[in-house]
C-alpha cells in the first residue's frame, strides 16, 4: 500500500513541486517506446543521431572544426555504416576542450556540472542540461522496472562515491523517509565486522531491492559465508559500477538467496544497459544513447568483442558524440523473450577493480578511490594503486609534467590514509606512463593479496 502511494501520488507530486515534471513525461514515453520493434527503435535512434550531428555542427565550434578537418558533413551520414567517417571523441578531448564543447544556446549557469575519474584513471568534467537530468532519472526508473523494482520500494545501497552519499539536512532526510526509502552503506572504507552490523540493519529494514558495487557485494557475501552468518534476502539485487563475473554472481545469489541483475552505467551517461528478468543480455537505453561496437575501427559482428563508442542523443548542452568510453563489449543476437525491442549487449568487459586492504584490516574498492582521488585532482594525470602486502600501497603516478608537486603528493597521502587508515605505508613510483593490461584495459588498482580477512 505504501509503495503504491509513493509511486502514484507522493513521487509525482514531488516532481511537480520541484520543477522536475520532465521525469514523469520521459518515463511515460520510455515505458511505451521500449516495446517498439527492433527496426523501429533502430530508426528512432539513428534519426536522433542525425539530428544531434546537425545540431552540433551548427551550434558547437569544436564539432564543426573536427568534422571539417575530416572532410565530413552531417548530411553525409545517411546510414549507420557512414558513422565511421566521423572522428571519435577521446577523454583527452574533453579535458582539453571542455568549454569549446558547450553549445552556444546554453549558459554554463543553466547546466549541470559533473565529473568522473573514469575507468582509465583520467579525470574529466562535463555538463548536461536539466532536461537531460530528467531523462537520465526516467531511464533509471524504466530500467529498474525491467525487474519489477518500482518507485517507493525500500532499497539498500552499498556504494562508495562520496557525491552519492545521502544528504544530512532535515529536508533531505524527510524526503528519504517519505519517498526514496533508502538505507545506505558506505563501502569507501569499512571494517569487516561492519558487514555483520549492516546485515542486521538489512534484516530490520527489509528492503525489496539492493543496489551495489559488484565487488563490494561479492566481498560482503564472501564474508558472511565464511563467518557462517545468515544473510538477509531481498527480492532483487542489482550490481553495477564494476564488472560482474559469473563467479561473483553465483556467490552473491547463493548467500543472499536472490537473483542478481547486472547493470552497465557511467557518470557520463547514467544507465547505459541493464538485464531484464530473462537475464539474456543487457538492454541498451537506445532512445537516449547511440552505441557502436567497433573492431579495428569498423562495426563488430554479432557476438564479436569490440570497443564501445557512445553518443548521448539527448544532451544538447554539451553533446558527447562518438565518445570512446574505455570499455569493451559485444552485441547479443536475436530477440529477448521479454518482448522489448531494445538492442542488447551480450557482455561488457572491463571495469575490473581490486580491493585494497589497510594495515588495520579495513577494505576499500579501487572504484571508490578513482572518484576520491583522480576526479578531484586533475593535475595528477594517471594513477595506479598496487598492493602486494597488507597495509602497504605502491602509488604509481604519471603526472602530465613528469613530476608530482608537493600539494598533489600530500593530497594523495591524505586520501590513502583516510580510506585505508593510519599505519598504511606508501611507496611512490613516478613514471612517464602507466601500461595497460594485455587485454588492453587500464586497471586503476591491482592487488596480489588473496586473504582479505
Comparing 105-109, 126-130, 189-193, which segment has the lowest mean pLDDT?
189-193
State the average pLDDT for the chain: 89
Of residues 337, 331, 347, 317, the one with CA closest to residue 108:
317
For the cut 70, the answer to whether the pLDDT of residue 118 exceeds it is: no
pLDDT grade, residue 295 (50/70/90)? confident
Strand partners, 312: 289
Quick one: how many helices (H) and strands (E) in the chain? 13, 20
The pLDDT value given to residue 172: 84
Class of residue 314 by CB neighbours under 10 A (exposed 0-12, middle 13-18, buried 19+): buried
Report the pLDDT value the prediction gives residue 402, as an integer from 0 to 100: 84
Residues 68, 376 contacting (CB under 8 angstroms) = no
Span 1-351: which CATH code? 3.40.50.12780
Q: Report the b/e string of 63-77 with b at 16+ CB within 10 A.
A: beebbeeeebebeeb
Mean pLDDT of 171-198: 85
What are the residues facing 425 on neighbouring strands?
392
Place 288 in a pLDDT band, splitting at 50, 70 and 90. very high
Angle CA(127)–CA(132)–CA(137) in degrees, nearest 5? 115
Provide the greatest CA pair distance for the chain. Answer: 64
Higher local confidence (pLDDT), 437 or 102? 102
pLDDT at residue 337 greater than cutoff 50: yes
Most confidently predicted of 40-54, 113-127, 389-403 = 40-54
Would you state the torsion angle of the CA atoms of residues 328, 331, 332, 334, taken in this order, to the nearest 10 degrees?
180
pLDDT recorded at residue 117:
59
Q: Which residue has the higher pLDDT, 292 or 443?
A: 292
Chain mean position to CA 100: 25
Mean pLDDT of 124-140: 97
Percent residues over pLDDT 70 in the chain: 91
pLDDT of amino acid 188 = 72
**Class of residue 355 by CB neighbours under 10 A (exposed 0-12, middle 13-18, buried 19+):** buried
Tell me how far CA of residue 256 lies from CA of 141, 182, 270, 310, in angstroms.
23, 19, 27, 34
CA 246/CA 180 separation, integer angstroms: 31
Greater pLDDT, 391 or 320 = 320
Q: Sorting pLDDT into bands at 50, 70 and 90, what band is 251?
A: very high
Outline where DSSP puts E strands in 168-208: 182-186
User: How is domain 355-447 classified at the CATH fold level?
Assistant: GMP Synthetase; Chain A, domain 3 (3.30.300)
In the chain, domain spans = 1-351, 355-447
Higher pLDDT, 36 or 443: 36
Residue 171 CB contacts under 8 Å (≥ 6 apart), including other chains: none
For the chain, helix, strand, coil in percent to 5 are: 40, 25, 35
Q: Strand 306-312 and strand 289-295: pairing? A: antiparallel
pLDDT at 351 over 60: no
Q: Could you give the CA distance from residue 76 to residue 78 in angstroms, rounded to a whole number?
A: 6
How many of the other CB atoms lie within 10 Å of CB of 358? 23
Residue 376 has pLDDT above 80, yes or no: no
The predicted structure's pLDDT at residue 57? 98
Amino acid at each position: 500500500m505504501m509503495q503504491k502511494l509513493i509511486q502514484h501520488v507522493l513521487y509525482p507530486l514531488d516532481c511537480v513541486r520541484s520543477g522536475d515534471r520532465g521525469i514523469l513525461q520521459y518515463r511515460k514515453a520510455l515505458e511505451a517506446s521500449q516495446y517498439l520493434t527492433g527496426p523501429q527503435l533502430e530508426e528512432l535512434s539513428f534519426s536522433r543521431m542525425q539530428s544531434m550531428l546537425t545540431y552540433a555542427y551548427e551550434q558547437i565550434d569544436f564539432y564543426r572544426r573536427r568534422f571539417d578537418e575530416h572532410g565530413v558533413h552531417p548530411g553525409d551520414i545517411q546510414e549507420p555504416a557512414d558513422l565511421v567517417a566521423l572522428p571519435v571523441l577521446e577523454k583527452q578531448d574533453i579535458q582539453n576542450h571542455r568549454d569549446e564543447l558547450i553549445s552556444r544556446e546554453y549558459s554554463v549557469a543553466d547546466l549541470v556540472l559533473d565529473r568522473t575519474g573514469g575507468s582509465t584513471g583520467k579525470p574529466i568534467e562535463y555538463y548536461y542540461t536539466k532536461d537531460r537530468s530528467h531523462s537520465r532519472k526516467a531511464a533509471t526508473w524504466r530500467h529498474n522496472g525491467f525487474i519489477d523494482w518500482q518507485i517507493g520500494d525500500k532499497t539498500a545501497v552499498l556504494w562508495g562515491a562520496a557525491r552519492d552519499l545521502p544528504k544530512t539536512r532535515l529536508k533531505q532526510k524527510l524526503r528519504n523517509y517519505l519517498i526514496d526509502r533508502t538505507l545506505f552503506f558506505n563501502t569507501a572504507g569499512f571494517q569487516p565486522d561492519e558487514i555483520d552490523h549492516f546485515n542486521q540493519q538489512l534484516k530490520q529494514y527489509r528492503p525489496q531491492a539492493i543496489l551495489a558495487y559488484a565487488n563490494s557485494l561479492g566481498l560482503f557475501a564472501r564474508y558472511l559465508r565464511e563467518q557462517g552468518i545468515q544473510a538477509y534476502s531481498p527480492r532483487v539485487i542489482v550490481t553495477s559500477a564494476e564488472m560482474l563475473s559469473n563467479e561473483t554472481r553465483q556467490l552473491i545469489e547463493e548467500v543472499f538467496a536472490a537473483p542478481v541483475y547486472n547493470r552497465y552505467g557511467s557518470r557520463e551517461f547514467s544507465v547505459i544497459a541493464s538485464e531484464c528478468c530473462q537475464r539474456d543480455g543487457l538492454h541498451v537505453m537506445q532512445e537516449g544513447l547511440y552505441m557502436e561496437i567497433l573492431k579495428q575501427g569498423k562495426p563488430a559482428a554479432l557476438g564479436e568483442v569490440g570497443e564501445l563508442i557512445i553518443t548521448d542523443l539527448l544532451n544538447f548542452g554539451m553533446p558527447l558524440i562518438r565518445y570512446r568510453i574505455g570499455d569493451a563489449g559485444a552485441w547479443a543476437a536475436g530477440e529477448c523473450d521479454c518482448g522489448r525491442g531494445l538492442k542488447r549487449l551480450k557482455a561488457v568487459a572491463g571495469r575490473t577493480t581490486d580491493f585494497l586492504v589497510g594495515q588495520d584490516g579495513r577494505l576499500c574498492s579501487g572504484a571508490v578511490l578513482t572518484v576520491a582521488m583522480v576526479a578531484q585532482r586533475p593535475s595528477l594525470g594517471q594513477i595506479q594503486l598496487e598492493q602486494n602486502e597488507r597495509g602497504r600501497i605502491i602509488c604509481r603516478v604519471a603526472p602530465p609534467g613528469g613530476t608530482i608537486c608537493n600539494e598533489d603528493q600530500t593530497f594523495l597521502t591524505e586520501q590513502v590514509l583516510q580510506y585505508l587508515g593510519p599505519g598504511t605505508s606508501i611507496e611512490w613510483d613516478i613514471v612517464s606512463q602507466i601500461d595497460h593490461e594485455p587485454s588492453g584495459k587500464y586497471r586503476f588498482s591491482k592487488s596480489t593479496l588473496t586473504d582479505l580477512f
